[in-house]
Amino acid sequence: MNRGAFRSWIIGLLVVLAMVALLTTFMNGQPSPQSGLTLSDLARDIKAGKVQQITVAGDDLRVRYTTNPQQERITRKEHSIDLTETMRRLGVTDAQLVAVKLEVVAPSFWTNWGPLIGSILPVLLLGGFIFLMMRQAQGGNNQAMSFGKSRARMFGGDKPTVTFVDVAGVEEAKHELAEVVEFLKEPEKFIALGARIPKGVLMVGPPGCGKTLMAKAVAGEAGVPFFSISGSEFVEMFVGVGASRVRDLFEQAKRHSPCIIFVDEIDAVGRHRGAGLGGSHDEREQTLNQILVEMDGFDTDTNVIIIAATNRPDILDPALLRPGRFDRRVIIDRPDKQGRRHILDVHVRGKPLDRTVNLDTVAKLTVGFSGADLENLVNEAAILAARRNAKAINMKDITEAVEKVTAGPERKSRVISPQDKRIIAVYEAGQAIVRHALPNCDPVHKISIVARGMNEGYVTSRPEEDRTMTPKAKFEDEIAARLGGRAAEELSFGDVTVRAHDDLERATKFARMMVTQFGMSEALGPIMFGEKDELVFLGREIGEQRNYSEAVAQRIDREVQRIVNEGYERARSVLTAQREQLNALANLLLERETVDSNEFEALFDQQPQAGMAAA
C-alpha cells in the first residue's frame, strides 16, 4: 500500500473514533431513562399523596415529591399512551390525579431524535467504511464512482487519422468493409430498401496483420466516432463489473450514434460458455451474456456497428456468431508477395530511399512476414541508415534489417527456405488438384503457400450448397483429397515429409468415423461402435467407452486402413493422370504464393502443352 492510501486509512479511522467518542459523551450527558422509579411506584406514590409535580417531556417524566421538592426523580411513560390514562389503569382516581401539578414541556432534541440517531449511526458508519475500502481497492481518488463505467477510449470522427490507404495487402477485407462504411455514411439508402444493417463484424486473423488498423480505418473512412476497448478490460476482480461496463459502453455509443464500437481480442470474454470449470455463473459469462443482450437490443435505426477482432475464432461462443450478432466475418490474413509489396509502399512513405532499393525484391525476401513485421523492418532499416549518417536508405540497410528482424526474439513467423517452399507448393498443389478432380469435393476457392497460424499453406474450398446429410462418397473423396498432398510429394520427390501430419490425422479420423459412427463400412455393417463419455462440467467429450470385443476392434482397424489406403491410391492415380497441371500449379504457387479460383480453373482449360516447366 502506498503512503497516500495509508494516510486516508488513518484519517478514516480517526473520523470513526471521533464519532464514537462524541456519541458516548452525548449519551452520558443525558438522563438515563431507567432510574429505579417504575410507573407502578409512581401510581402508588400518587395514591399516597406524596407527589407534588410531574413534568412531562415527550415520554420522559420528571417527578418531584412533596417530601423533597428540590430533587427530581425520573421515569418514562409508555409511548403513545398519555400519562392520565396510564395512571387510571394503575388504579389512580381522578381526584388523586388532580392533586398533582402536571406540567408539559417540549421534549428536548435528544429525547426526540436520540433513539433514531442511535440506530442509524452505526449503519452510516459501516457504509462509510465500506465506501472508503472500495476507494482504496480502486487505488484512485475519484474512481470509486466510476467503477462500473466502461473503460473505452473514444476517438473523434472529425479528423480521420487512419484511412483505407494506410491498410495494404488485404483487398478482400477492404472490399467487404467498404460496405460497412457505406452503411455508416448513408444509412437512409439501405433502410429505404428495407435492408437490415449489419450489427457486428468479426475480424479474424493472425496477430500483427492489421486488424486493429483496419477497424480504425473503417471509422476514419466513415468519419464517425470510434470506441475502442479490449476484451480483457471488461473483466475485473469484482463480479458484475464486466456486465455493467458493457451496459455503459453501449449507452455511450448510442448517444454518439452513428459510431463504431471496436472490441479488440474479444476471445477474452467471448469464449465458449460452459467450457470452464468455474460453474455456469462466472464473471466472463455474465459479461458475454450482456454483450449478446445489448446487441439484440439495438433498434434497426441505431447506427452502431460493432467490430470485434480475434485470432482465435475457434474458441468463440457460437451464440456470438449467429445472424444478428457477429454475422459478418472478415478474414485478415498474412499478406502474400504482392500484399507485402503494397504494405512496404505504405511504410516507406516519407522515408527517402536510395536508387539501389527494389521493393519487389524485398517483398520476395520476406515470406511469412506480417504487416507489423514489415513496419518494423522498414523502421530498422531507417535506423541503420541514420547510424551510418546517410541521407537515404539503401538496399544493404534493408537486407541487414531483414536479418535483424528475423533473428529478433519477437519473431513469430519464420522465413521459409527455398526447398521447403517448393515442398509446400507441391503439397498444396496436389491437394487442390485432387479436390478438383473428385466429384464430391467442394470447389477450390483459393490456394496459398503463405503461413497461416501454425501451418504454412492451405487450400480453401467452399461448398456450393448446404448439405448436412453427408453421403458416404463425399467422405471418401474428402479422404482422398486430404491425402493428395502426400501423394504429390511422393510423385514429385520420391520421398515424403512431416508436412502431411495434419491431413493424415484428419483423413484417419474421417475413416474411423465412417466405420464406427455412421455404419458406412460394408464389412462391419450399420452398427455404431463405442459410447461417448461426456463430462457435463467441461461441456466436452472426454473419451470413448469401448463396448465391443477385441476381435471387432481388429476388424475396425482393418476397415479404417482399407478406406485410407484406397483414398491414397485414388489420389495417386488422379495426380499421375494430371501431372502437367500439378507441376504448372506448383510453379505458379512458387511464383505468386496465392492462386485464386479463376487462375486455378484456367489451368484445366488450356490444352496441356508439351514442355511445360517440370517440377
Active site residues: 428
Q: How far apart are CA 574 and CA 121, in angstroms?
A: 88
Of 211 and 499, which CB lies nearer to ligand ADP in the complex structure? 211
By CB under 6 A, residue 363 contacts ligand ADP: no
Of 165-173, 238-246, 281-289, 520-528, the segment contacting ligand ADP by CB under 6 A is 165-173
Residue 368 found at the interface with ligand ADP (CB under 6 A): no
CA 148 from chain centre, in angstroms, equals: 17
Grouping H, G, I as helix, E, B as strand and the rest as coil, residue 227 is strand
**Nearest of 290, 204, 190 to residue 242 by alpha carbon:** 290
Work out which of 61, 177, 209, 563 binds ligand ADP, going by CB under 6 A. 209
Question: Residue 202 CB, nearest distance to ligand ADP (Å)?
Answer: 13
The verdict on 230 binding Mg ion (CB under 5 A) reads no
In the complex, least distance from residue 410 CB atom to ligand ADP, rounded to whole angstroms: 13
228 contacts Mg ion (rule: CB under 5 A): no
Helix and strand numbers, DSSP H then E, in the chain: 22, 15
The interface partner of residue 168, options being Mg ion, ligand ADP, none and the CB cut-off 5 to 8 Å by kind, is: ligand ADP
Interface pick for ligand ADP out of 140, 207, 297, 323 (rule CB under 6 A)? 207
Please tell me what DSSP assigns to residue 271: B
Residue type, 319: A
CA distance 378 to 400: 11
Cα distance between residue 52 and residue 50, in whole Å: 7
Q: Considering the rule CB under 5 A, would residue 310 count as an interface residue with Mg ion?
A: no
Taking the least distance from each CB to Mg ion, the nearer of 212 and 587 is 212
| 290: partner contacted, choices ligand ADP, Mg ion, none (Cβ within 5-8 A by kind) | none
CB 368 within 8 A of CB 334: yes
**Residue 520 burial by CB count (10 A; 0-12/13-18/19+): exposed, middle or buried?**
buried
Q: Which of residues 184-223 bind Mg ion (CB under 5 A)?
A: 212
Closest to Mg ion by CB, 347 vs 435, is 347
Which one, 154 or 191, has the nearer CB to Mg ion? 154
The residue (of 206 and 484) whose beta carbon lies closer to ligand ADP is 206
Q: Given candidates 169, 220, 313, 567, which one binds ligand ADP under the rule CB under 6 A?
A: 169
Do 337 and 232 touch, CB atoms closer than 8 A? Answer: no
Judged by beta carbon distances under 5 to 8 A according to partner kind, the member of ligand ADP, Mg ion, none in contact with residue 372 is ligand ADP
How many residues lie near ligand ADP (CB under 6 A)?
A: 18
Rounded distance, CA 507 to CA 565, Å? 10
- Could you tell me the smallest distance in angstroms from the CB atom of residue 252 to ligand ADP? 23
Q: Which of 212, 286, 413, 578 binds ligand ADP (CB under 6 A)?
A: 212
Strands (E), 501-593: 531-535, 540-545
Q: Which of 187, 198, 200, 208 binds ligand ADP (CB under 6 A)?
A: 208
- Measured from the CB atom, the residue of 413 and 581 that comes closer to Mg ion is 413
Can you tell me the distance from the alpha carbon of 265 to that of 231, in angstroms, rounded to the nearest whole number? 5
**Cβ–Cβ < 8 Å for 559, 524:** yes
The CA-based dihedral angle spanning residues 567, 570, 576, 580, taken in that order and rounded to the nearest 10 degrees: -80
Cell triple for 486: 502426400
| Dihedral sign (CA 462, 464, 468, 472) | negative
Quote the least distance from Cβ 533 to ligand ADP, whole Å: 38
Would you tell me which residues interact with ligand ADP (CB under 6 A)?
A: 167-170, 205, 207-213, 309, 343, 346, 371-372, 375
Would you tell me which residues interact with Mg ion (CB under 5 A)?
A: 212
